[in-house]
Each structure stands twice: as structure tokens, then as C-alpha cells.
Amino acid sequence: MLLLKELPTSKSLEKFVTRYPGTDISAISDFVSILRAASDISSALDALLAQHGLLQGRWWVLVLLMRQDDLTSSPSELAEKAGVTKATMTGFIDGLEREGLVSRFMDTNDRRKFLIRLSVAGQQKLDEVMPVYVQCVTQFMNVLGRPERNTLITDLATLASRVDLIK
């Protein structure tokens, strides 16, 4: 995602409304602000995870596997839950397997399938990173008071539920 750090000058805004009359500048500005804030937050998470040799994609895979009773899932299921394509998930699993954090097993019932299991090293990695993650995220979210936070989450979810309007 892109930051667009530079805000438009009032002069360029003038030019803009001349060329595209009737534009609701505040809507555009608010929209860009949201994208930028989100990008900043996501980048910060990237940086935190990078300190532990992780990236967001791989991190969420570890988290998803941890949730499973037997620490096991399939690429398709993981892709579905993580909201990426199967092709992307193949890449994540390749990387995690190379680093020994997960293992691939054949599924004896369905020979098209693989089972992906969190390894001991993967669990250790989670135990190393998760406390830091939890602490940082908690501190971060506490920047806002509880009522502000609740309102923010609710309104943002309301907005996101209508992304169909952008089409």
C-alpha cells in the first residue's frame, strides 16, 4: 500500500476543482488519510516482525496454525482464512518450511492434499514473538481511550462493509 505523504497545496487543489468541478475535496482527503494511516500501521507491524525474521504473511500463517487443535491445516484452508490465493499461500509455506517453522505431510485420505503442521521451532518462534507483539499492540491501542477505540472500530467496520460502493 502506498503512503502519499505529500498533501496537496491549496493552489493545486484549486486547479483540481477547476478541472473536476463539484468534487467533494474533504471526502477525497479523508479517504487518503485513512489509507495513509493504515499503511503506517501496517509498516510498523512489518518492522516489528522483521526484527524476528518474519513477515506479515508468514506470521499470520503461524498464528492460524496455532489456533488449530492439532496445529495442522491444509494450504487451501489457510489461504481461505488468511484471505490470500492458494498460489500466495504456496509461497508462504515454502518459506516457512525452508526455515523449519512448519512441515508438509501427505494426506493419506486425499492424495491431492497436504497437511501443514506447526513445528516445534514454529511454536518456539511464536513463543518468542507473541509476547512482544501482544505488549506492543496493547500499548498502541491504549493510545485511545476505551470509548474512542470502540467508536473507531465500529465506524471503520461500518465503512469497510460498504467497499462495494468503490467499483
Partner DNA sequence: TGCATTTAGTTTGATGCCATACTATACTGG
Partner DNA sequence: CCAGTATAGTATGGCATCAAACTAAATGCA
Site for a second copy in 30-89 (CB under 8 A): 30-31, 33-45, 47-48, 56-57, 60, 63-64, 66-68, 80-84
Please report how close the Cβ of residue 93 comes to a second copy at its closest, in angstroms.
Answer: 14
State the pairing for strand pair 72-73/114-118: antiparallel
Sequential DSSP letters for 102-136:
EEEEE-SS-TT-EEEEE-HHHHHHHHHHHHHHHHH
Q: Is residue 101 near a second copy by the rule CB under 8 A?
A: no
Which residues are CB-neighbours of 145 under 8 A, at least 6 positions away? Answer: none
Phi/psi of residue 13, each to 5°?
-65, -45
Among 6, 18, 98, 112, binds a second copy (CB under 8 A): 6
Residue 143 binds a second copy (CB under 8 A): yes
Q: Which C-beta is closer to DNA: that of 46 or that of 148? A: 46
Least distance to DNA from the beta carbon of 24, Å? 26
CA dist., res. 149 & res. 160, Å (int): 16
Closest CB 88 distance from DNA, rounded Å? 3
Cα–Cα dist 64/73, whole Å = 9
Site for a second copy in 9-28 (CB under 8 A): 9, 12, 15-16, 19-20, 23-24, 26-28
Could you tell me which stretch among 94-102, 105-113, 114-122, 146-154 binds a second copy (CB under 8 A)? 146-154
